[in-house]
Chains A and B, each alone.
Chain A
Amino acid sequence: MAHAPAALSSAPAKSVGSVLKMTGVSKRFPGVRALENVHLEVRPSEIHALLGENGAGKSTLLKILSGAQSADAGEIELFGKPVAFATPHDAQRAGIVTIYQEFTLAPDMTIAENVFIGREPGSRLFVSWGRMAQETKAIAERIGLKRDPMTQVRDLSVAEQQLVEIARALSMQSRLIIMDEPTAALSETEVANLARIVRALKAEGLSIIFVTHRLDEVFRLCDRYTVLRDGHYVASGEVAETNVEAIIRMMVGRDVGALYGERPIPEHGEVALEVEGLTRRRNARDPNAIELVDVSLKAHHGEILGLAGLVGAGRTETARAIFGADAFDHGTIRVEGKAVRFLSPRDAMSHGIGLVPEDRKKQALFLSLAIRTNMTIAAQDEVSRGWFIDESKEDVLIDEFRKLLSIRMASPEQAAGQLSGGNQQKIVLARWLALRPKILIVDEPTRGIDIGSKVEVHNLLINMAKQGIAVIVISSELPEILAISDRIVTMREGRVTGEIARTAATQEILMAMMTAHESGAASAAA
């Protein structure tokens, strides 16, 4: 595979026509049309954004392209020749490689082994480790992966693992790389780095299909777009000739009026939560913990407090310390004026505090269990009679929240894992609302969910504040923070760096506060 780089540089990059052309592709599953007459055209040297809400048919389309499923109708042309992939292997041989959100790497094997898995260079019987390492190194350097090819994949960061996936795609001399939500798990700097690499690949003549929920990335990175909605093709065109509002309208099929509209800052009530001098040091048991240094903040009833900061700024850690999920060294927490110290989340809950954690699947949901259990596990007192669950009471509660949050589900017995991301997040929110909390902390409430659900979640949080709940929102998306918070506290490296009213804040000001070094300088802005 030493000729891989050569093949790429001599690619007919400027040839006319398209790399991939899908026309009238349809796919049915029993009882549902997943795709109906969908078109997709990808040109040479192009980064193509494939957009749509969850359930729009993107995943099905990707599965057809990667050979995991076959289309019922329609034509697929690759470099002008009609193709049909029976297996993922066929698709890879034809030059289409898909990089899924969940990586397909073997963590205990080396970078080189992962890149050449199943295609190890060498003779019939023996693997040539030298050649494998050398070729891996050549590819890795092209995409800026500065690691020894003999490093175990386990020891790499998420961003680096992604580069290994890209390296594997390049080693297969792929001409079209499909990336499914590649930025979902990356920090801002890692996203910037990935964008640089993707641009470099484009300059080498490759085409990339880029699936993402983050529209700002589309406008920063992509050349053309295709939008799907409910399994139908909606539109495609040049990114430069459209704007965020137009794309959202195409994805949602209606105007999302209140998305980032004007909203006056409401009058708020008494102080609900007061944190003073919260400090948490690293210790031998937890050497990689993010430290918190003298964190102080206040949240009022009826107010949405935004906590902004880069990844690793200590926002999640602050929330977990308040909630009793992690221990801290010193500091005072007061709930409605009364000093408290929670030893477990259970303690915090008994004082009316709820926490919607950062990682829905790992920290909140019981994916294999029924919606029923997922929704009421924290509020069993509400739905029980003595030691027994009263399912009729429970049904009333589930129905209340199903309507309030417009959760789309078949029945309460359905497993939570079968729902879309947006509906899953609503289940988690319902779990905490069922407790009727006084203070609710939500950590990345809309990560990985589609725009329609996102707006619903935002409106829900705003309504909760209206009912007098003190809501604390942690989000890495500044537009989200700016859209729903009344007051914003910024953090950096475990310290509070400033506080500002939403009406005075812009993305630029917040960014400056989030990266500021001295808390004194920034709080002047508040």
Chain B
Amino acid sequence: MSEARLEATEDRGIDVFGFVARFAPTLFLIVLMLIFAIMQPRFLSQINLFNVMRQVSITGLLAVGMTFVILTAGIDLSVGSLVAFAGLVAAAVAKGGLENRFTVGEGGVGYGWFAAAMAAIAVGLACGWLQGLAITRLKVPPFVVTLGGMSAFRGAALLFAAGGPISGFQPSFTWWGQGKIGPVPVPVIIFLLAAFIAHIVLRYMRYGRQVYAVGGNPEAARLSGLNVNRIIMSVYLIMGFFAGLTAFVLAARLNSAEAVAGTGYELTVIA
């Protein structure tokens, strides 16, 4: 069959144009880095590179969660707002209540970093669950649900903090955003770990295949025996988890949580 022949010969030979087209973004990045390095030799210094990576790791963490959502042909526009909301909750827990919001560096009042992180993640999961419920049960498109979530969570954040920031955490809290292990900033390690786990899940686990299948063709996935609603719900939970984790790391890095944190993140993350 001519078709079979066509299929078999497609990958042969060195296709320079094809190579450039496929890796265009990476090549462009390398060129850009070379230009920067030539213009300002300090660009390639260890400190600068880790600084850049630390900045990237905040959006990177969210992007890991967003990958799951986008693979199911969904979208989550609420992540920026959710980061602000969950961050404020984490901050309030760390400070032991809203009354202490401005007390700087005082120890012993709050509940510690672990409780704060758990609170942020719990908020993220709860909000993800609510949105997942609207998408799977009420059959509202993800774009609409999470656009609503974007306003709702931002509103919740503003109400919660009464507009003002909460700042000044214990060193054990801020270590998660500002600390280093060796020369590597902690957020970078968290991000790389998350990306690695996500890669394993998507590439090698049954669940990963199912996520791709639901995104590829939901009806075919259902007729192949997959529980489509459960998988869609799960990706919004994953997104919620990462929003909560990011909120915690961001608050730790800035030593502050405020209601306008994470504004515009939804688009940066998707890009």
Indicate if B137 sits at the interface (CB-CB under 8 A). Answer: no
When chains A and B are docked, how far (Å) is the Cα of A493 from the Cα of B2? 43
When chains A and B are docked, how far (Å) is the Cα of A414 from the Cα of B2? 17
Q: What is the size, in residues, of chain B's interface with A at 8 Å between Cβ atoms? A: 32
Chain B contacts of A389 at CB under 8 A?
204-206, 209
Chain B contacts of A29 at CB under 8 A?
6
When chains A and B are docked, how far (Å) is the Cα of A230 from the Cα of B260? 64
Task: Contact check, B205 vs A362: say whether CB atoms are below 8 A apart.
Answer: no
Pick the contact of A408 from B4, B209, B220, B225 — CB < 8 Å? Answer: B4
**Interface-forming stretch among B7-15, B82-90, B118-126, B236-244?**
B7-15
Task: Contact check, B223 vs A357: say whether CB atoms are below 8 A apart.
Answer: yes
- Mostly, the B contact residues are helix
Chain A contacts of B13 at CB under 8 A?
30
Task: Contact check, A414 vs B223: say whether CB atoms are below 8 A apart.
Answer: no
**Interface-forming stretch among A83-91, A262-270, A341-349?**
A341-349
Indicate if B106 sits at the interface (CB-CB under 8 A). Answer: no
Indicate if B138 sits at the interface (CB-CB under 8 A). Answer: no
* Closest B residue by C-beta to A57: B2
Task: Contact check, A349 vs B225: say whether CB atoms are below 8 A apart.
Answer: yes
Pick the contact of A387 from B1, B10, B207, B225 — CB < 8 Å? Answer: B207
Task: Contact check, B217 vs A366: say whether CB atoms are below 8 A apart.
Answer: yes
Chain B contacts of A57 at CB under 8 A?
2
Instruction: Choose among B4, B9, B223 the residue with the greatest number of A CB atoms under 10 Å from its CB.
Output: B223
Task: Contact check, B223 vs A32: say whether CB atoms are below 8 A apart.
Answer: no
Q: A55-B1, A373-B209, A378-B224 are in contact. Are A410 and B8 (CB under 8 A)?
A: yes
When chains A and B are docked, how far (Å) is the Cα of A386 from the Cα of B102? 50
Instruction: Return B184 CB to nearest CB of chain A, in Å.
Output: 29
Interface size class of A (residues with CB under 8 A): 35 or more
Indicate if A192 sits at the interface (CB-CB under 8 A). Answer: no
Chain A contacts of B171 at CB under 8 A?
none
Task: Contact check, B217 vs A387: say whether CB atoms are below 8 A apart.
Answer: no
Indicate if B227 sits at the interface (CB-CB under 8 A). Answer: yes
> Which residues of chain A (305-355) have a CB below 8 Å from chain B?
323, 325, 344-346, 349, 355
Indicate if B216 sits at the interface (CB-CB under 8 A). Answer: yes
Produce 1/0 per residue, B1-41, CB < 8 A to A.
Answer: 11111111111110000000000000000000000000000
Task: Contact check, B6 vs A31: say whether CB atoms are below 8 A apart.
Answer: yes
* Closest A residue by C-beta to B203: A389
Indicate if B160 sits at the interface (CB-CB under 8 A). Answer: no
> Which residues of chain A (347-399) have a CB below 8 Å from chain B?
349, 355, 357, 362-369, 373, 377-378, 380, 384, 387-389
Task: Contact check, A377 vs B224: say whether CB atoms are below 8 A apart.
Answer: yes
Task: Contact check, A378 vs B225: say whether CB atoms are below 8 A apart.
Answer: yes
When chains A and B are docked, how far (Å) is the Cα of A347 from the Cα of B210? 17
Chain B contacts of A365 at CB under 8 A?
217, 220
Indicate if A502 sits at the interface (CB-CB under 8 A). Answer: no
Indicate if B233 sits at the interface (CB-CB under 8 A). Answer: no
When chains A and B are docked, how far (Å) is the Cα of A342 from the Cα of B11? 45
Instruction: Return B9 CB to nearest CB of chain A, in Å.
Output: 3
When chains A and B are docked, how far (Å) is the Cα of A388 from the Cα of B208? 9
Instruction: Choose among B5, B219, B222 the residue with the greatest number of A CB atoms under 10 Å from its CB.
Output: B5
Indicate if A54 sits at the interface (CB-CB under 8 A). Answer: yes
Pick the contact of A388 from B2, B4, B204, B212 — CB < 8 Å? Answer: B204
Indicate if B134 sits at the interface (CB-CB under 8 A). Answer: no
Task: Contact check, B223 vs A363: say whether CB atoms are below 8 A apart.
Answer: yes
Chain A contacts of B7 at CB under 8 A?
408-410, 414, 418-419
Indicate if A420 sits at the interface (CB-CB under 8 A). Answer: yes
> Which residues of chain B (30-55) have a CB below 8 Å from chain A?
none
Q: A34-B2, A380-B209 are in contact. Are A325 and B204 (CB under 8 A)?
A: no
Pick the contact of B220 from A33, A56, A231, A363 — CB < 8 Å? Answer: A363
Chain A contacts of B220 at CB under 8 A?
357, 362-366
Task: Contact check, A30 vs B9: say whether CB atoms are below 8 A apart.
Answer: yes
Instruction: Choose among B7, B12, B210 the residue with the greatest number of A CB atoms under 10 Å from its CB.
Output: B7
Q: A377-B209, A410-B10 are in contact. Are A355 and B3 (CB under 8 A)?
A: no
* Closest A residue by C-beta to B212: A369
Indicate if B221 sits at the interface (CB-CB under 8 A). Answer: yes
Chain B contacts of A346 at CB under 8 A?
225-227
Pick the contact of B2 from A231, A355, A364 — CB < 8 Å? Answer: A231
Indicate if B186 sits at the interface (CB-CB under 8 A). Answer: no
When chains A and B are docked, how far (Å) is the Cα of A378 from the Cα of B5? 30
Chain B contacts of A31 at CB under 8 A?
5-6, 9-10, 12
When chains A and B are docked, how far (Å) is the Cα of A247 from the Cα of B204? 48
Instruction: Return B8 CB to nearest CB of chain A, in Å.
Output: 6
When chains A and B are docked, how far (Å) is the Cα of A346 from the Cα of B231? 14
When chains A and B are docked, how far (Å) is the Cα of A420 from the Cα of B6? 11
Indicate if A431 sits at the interface (CB-CB under 8 A). Answer: yes
Task: Contact check, B225 vs A388: say whether CB atoms are below 8 A apart.
Answer: no
When chains A and B are docked, how far (Å) is the Cα of A419 from the Cα of B6? 11
Produce 1/0 per residue, B137-174, CB < 8 A to A.
Answer: 00000000000000000000000000000000000000
Task: Contact check, B2 vs A230: say whether CB atoms are below 8 A apart.
Answer: yes
Instruction: Return A335 CB to nearest CB of chain B, in Å.
Output: 16
When chains A and B are docked, how far (Å) is the Cα of A325 from the Cα of B2? 38
Instruction: Choose among A30, A54, A349, A384 the residue with the greatest number of B CB atoms under 10 Å from its CB.
Output: A30
When chains A and B are docked, how far (Å) is the Cα of A369 from the Cα of B9? 20
Instruction: Choose among A56, A366, A368, A419 the residue with the greatest number of B CB atoms under 10 Å from its CB.
Output: A366
Instruction: Return B154 CB to nearest CB of chain A, in Å.
Output: 34
* Closest A residue by C-beta to B5: A32
Instruction: Return A428 CB to nearest CB of chain B, in Å.
Output: 9
Pick the contact of B222 from A34, A325, A408 — CB < 8 Å? Answer: A325
Instruction: Return A58 CB to nearest CB of chain B, in Å.
Output: 11
Indicate if B213 sits at the interface (CB-CB under 8 A). Answer: yes
Task: Contact check, B3 vs A55: say whether CB atoms are below 8 A apart.
Answer: yes
Q: A31-B9, A369-B212, A408-B3 are in contact. Are A325 and B224 (CB under 8 A)?
A: no
Instruction: Choose among B4, B7, B13, B220 the residue with the greatest number of A CB atoms under 10 Å from its CB.
Output: B220
> Which residues of chain B (178-201) have a CB below 8 Å from chain A?
none
Instruction: Return A455 CB to nearest CB of chain B, in Å.
Output: 15
Task: Contact check, A344 vs B227: say whether CB atoms are below 8 A apart.
Answer: yes
Instruction: Return B6 CB to nearest CB of chain A, in Å.
Output: 5
Residue pairs across A and B with Cβ atoms less than 8 A apart, 12 shown, are A31-B6, A31-B9, A32-B2, A33-B2, A57-B2, A345-B225, A346-B227, A349-B225, A362-B220, A369-B216, A410-B11, A419-B7
Closest 5 CB pairs of A and B: A31-B9, A366-B216, A55-B3, A346-B225, A378-B224
